[in-house]
Chain A
Amino acid sequence: MTTMVSDFEASMRKREPRAEDLIQGQTGDWEVILGLEVHAQITSKAKLFSGSSTKFGAEQNSQVSFVDAAMPGMLPVINRFCVEQAIRTGLGLKAKINLRSVFDRKNYFYPDLPQGYQISQYKHPIVGEGEIVLDMKDDRTVIVGVERLHLEQDAGKSLHDQHPAMSFVDLNRSGVALMEIVSKPDMRSADEAKAYVNKLRTILRYLGTCDGNMEEGSLRADVNVSVRKVGAPLGTRCEIKNVNSIRFIGLAIEHEARRQIEILEEGGKIDQETRLFDPKTGETRSMRSKEEAHDYRYFPDPDLLPLEFTQAWVDEIASSLPELPDDKKARLISEYGLTHYDATVLIGEGARADYFEAVAKGRDAKLAANWVTGELFGALNREGHSIEETPVTSKQLGELIDLISDGTISGRIAKDVFDSMYKTGRDPAKIVEEEGLQQVTDFGEIEAAIDAVIAANPDKVEQTKVKPQLAGWFVGQVMKSTSGKANPRVVNEILARKLGLSSDD
């Protein structure tokens, strides 16, 4: 997608530059302007215009129909589900759905492009303007405009390292449905670009329209980078093609921005060009083969009628939309009183939020949030497990919290119980019972323990009478002697009485 510079400027969201986003150069501070084009593979069984399977990792050219191989006389027939997925995504981006859109041919020659053209949407995309809200780490909210979303075919794959003089072509991917989601040039730092891809991926996963798997190429980003002095007109941009991890997006932007600044500060000028990010060197380099000015000769595909559907269909799809991340976040905050931070962490994956809600239902939400985001997510991260792989079910974690709340175990003991649950998958009640971890609430037993400590430390008793805050030392000693099982509330109560302190202030 090429936008004229003037359109580009016009479509930019007015944003005051923030000092922390600026890059310091020799001659002053530079602002980085970023726009992203994300290619998201639609989750569908069959390709966009043929009945071939889209399964990843199949044997070369084993998922290629005569249509995908562009045999003479073959014609495209559109997959309704792919259209539905594009509409669903558009709705998820709060974007305008165009009831009439047009498929165009983008003409160029490449061995993995069998037709000699890619069927795409140029002037009339299926989805128009929308937006994505970014939740930055520093609690800032950044709104990034979505310019458009269109449907198009993926190309095949050329392998260049199989033979010194030849390239090998596999068309399994050829014709797979993609959504190209084009942002407005609204981002100002690598962190924002990364947050954008992250959020977009989250939304796509909530919607179930793209699995967001960047290693398998289901999600790829083209990053448009330009720099300018604060307040200056827009600079010339370069497009970094097909970056396939969020980390690389950050690295590519950092490198590219510095490269451009260096050139400009040395009095040079930026050539508008397509570049590639090389993860090995951490640098971007010009794509030589694309130097020849491209002239794609777009025109409406005469094999396909305009894509038209009714508002009723759009409404039907809208009614089946799941709760989206932003809505879920707002609800978690209002319904459970969570902090922004906890809510943001939870909505990152729909399954995490679902897990939390299952735990929090009917329980102390703050306690539930602490256990889910602290203990559970901590353990999952350490072990490299996804939420789907958790050995502790939400029901079990809920039961553990119940044991804390009803005083059966202390919070400290609960951590040990949790570790054991994570290792063995056993129910918390069972662990507590079998290992005798119940809190001691028996007054007599606790009183005996306290008496023993008091008897052994008369000097401390005297000190405490003067300095009541030293009572904590006695609590610790009692807990120690009861292996942590003494109910701290009961300990405090009896201790206060014995030491002659008021227990109710």
Chain B
Amino acid sequence: MSDLTKLTLAAARDALKKKEITSSELTGAYLKEMADGGALNAYVTPTVEKAEEMAKASDAKLQKGEGGALEGIPLGIKDLFCTKDVRTTAGSHILEGFEPPYESTVTANLWRDGAVMLGKLNNDEFAMGSSNETSFYGPVVNPWRRKGSDARLVPGGSSGGSSAAVAARLCLGATATDTGGSIRQPAAFTGTVGLKPTYGRCSRWGIVAFASSLDQAGPIARDVRDAAILLGSMAGHDEKDTTSVDRPVPDYEAALGQGIKGLSVGIPKEYRVEGMPKEIDDLWTRGIEWLKAAGATVKEVSLPHTKYALPTYYIVAPAECSSNLARYDGVRYGLRVEGRDVTEMYEKTRAEGFGAEVRRRVLMGTYVLSAGYYDAYYLKAQKVRTLIARDFAEAFSEVDVLLTPTAPSAAFAIGAKSDDPLSMYLNDVFTVTVNLAGLPGISVPAGLSAEGLPLGLQLIGRTFDEETLLRAAYAIEQAAGFTAEPEAWWRA
């Protein structure tokens, strides 16, 4: 590992501004890591030339003492973000050969601020998955391994390429998206920081849609400060997305130093689920102690509808996805499998273009919306969603943030759950509530499992109060002192 790739984003940014390093050097170092890291399958489309050009352009600006907040910083981009003239796959066969003639707002914001694109990162097909095993481009491999084992583990999902690439230093930070936990769970599985902002904080324009009312972009980064810096560039109102909020973007990095003295932290009792591994429970207890030690007050709160969150999610998300994915029909872009008539063309294209999990969810969503079932499933789920949001609103009338584990386990082996959709869905048990209520959440690495795998703690905040969330996350990070790194077995 080169010294350059040891730098955090904040440190690299400062070094670039001081002209101690150049973006070309930094970018070059990452391109080398990417070339060496093929075994992780984190990138589906490296954009080497583009990276070199962008780095050069950044250097010219930095040389003149100019440049934006991310000038010269090399990033990886989840392949759910449309990037102009660069193949965008969403991890699906059905987008075969698709080169968007436009740039997503979030990535455009990053380039506006001077960031450098290293390439497109693997993800579960259309972000449907919790292990990055549903990608048409193959599973991403977690850089972390269990102590004394060379079993290949999942990096979490759906932003598995992003989490693996940040953990293995194949990029300085990455974009990701989170519909039910797809930023936070992979961050927890790879010892990285994953921040899902409030729904509406980042524009969804140009991000391949999975479930519109739940999808939200955010960063996966090496530490809390880096996540704060990245969010500052990604966030902002976009008139092309009327669900994006029109309010100023705060200086998130500045919030970190404010400490958490007097902060009120809630511990939702319903998150102590049956069968939760002891080491997760212990980690949670440690987290509580750390926050107390940093001056916060801690109290138990109740979110009574928690147990209904996953079933609610697995009605709402498939319903929306069944409609959102109707546009992949072989007419205007992507894969087409010819048929005798247009209907057969549709059916063959979509059968071949979608993988098993996407097919399953599209069918599930079609079913719950179909005549006679709408009220029993979709309408009911949206009502329960209101109750879940109310639970949070009530809790936040008493406390400022909530602390929970991010995931019910550490990373598991590739293939371990791929035959059982339900056990896979249970991975999102702690994260999905946040999406249903539109709240911001962050996962911070907080320790290692007995097997030596990273574990994360999740903080949940009030809508648009990412600053408090980041302050608390920073306190956990300081207390946890998580410095472990995976062994770079993939280079061998």
Contacts and interface: CB of A to CB of B under 8 A. Distances in A.
Task: Say if the two chains contact directly (CB < 8 Å).
Answer: yes
Interface string A305-324: 10000000000000000000
Contacts of B320: 302
Contacts of A298: 369, 374
Interface residues of B, number: 44
A295 B370 contact: yes
B371 A115 contact: no
Main secondary structure of the interface of B (DSSP, over half): loop
A74 B240 CA distance: 9
Nearest to B95: A72
B369 A115 contact: no
Nearest to A303: B212
Contacts of A66: 101-102
A111 interface: yes
B331 A114 contact: yes
B258 to A, nearest CB: 33
Nearest to B332: A69
Interface string B222-252: 0000000000000000011111000000000
A49 B331 CA distance: 21
A115 B205 CA distance: 15
Interface in B295-340: 319-320, 322-323, 325-327, 329, 331-333
B74 to A, nearest CB: 23
A115 B322 CA distance: 12
A62 to B, nearest CB: 15
A71 interface: yes
A305 B332 contact: no
Nearest to A293: B371
Contacts of B213: 302
B242 A72 contact: no
Given A69-B332, A73-B206, A73-B207, A117 B326 contact: yes
A299 B374 contact: yes
A324 B209 CA distance: 45
A448 interface: no
Taking residues whose C-beta sits less than 8 angstroms from the other chain, chain A's interface range is: 20 to 34
B242 A75 contact: yes
A72 B329 contact: no
Interface in B97-118: 98, 100-102, 104
A476 B211 CA distance: 89
Interface in B335-371: 342-343, 346, 366, 369-371
Contacts of A73: 81-82, 100, 104, 204-209
B331 A169 contact: yes
B271 interface: no
Contact of A70 (B327, B342, B346, B371): B327
A388 to B, nearest CB: 39
Interface string A281-305: 0000000000000010111001111
B332 A117 contact: no
B291 interface: no
A78 interface: yes
Interface in B182-241: 204-209, 211-213, 239-241
Interface string B146-190: 000000000000000000000000000000000000000000000
B89 to A, nearest CB: 10
Nearest to B345: A111
A116 B366 CA distance: 13
B411 interface: no
B242 A115 contact: no
A105 interface: yes
B137 interface: no
Given A66-B102, A114-B332, 9 more contacts: A72-B98, A72-B100, A72-B333, A73-B100, A107-B326, A111-B331, A116-B329, A297-B323, A297-B369
27 contacts: A70-B327, A70-B332, A71-B82, A71-B101, A71-B102, A72-B327, A73-B100, A74-B206, A75-B205, A75-B241, A75-B242, A77-B239, A77-B240, A105-B323, A109-B329, A111-B331, A114-B332, A115-B326, A116-B323, A295-B371, A297-B323, A297-B371, A299-B319, A299-B378, A303-B212, A303-B243, A305-B242
The 7 A-B pairs at the shortest CB distance, nearest first, are namely: A116-B326, A302-B212, A297-B369, A302-B213, A73-B206, A70-B327, A72-B208
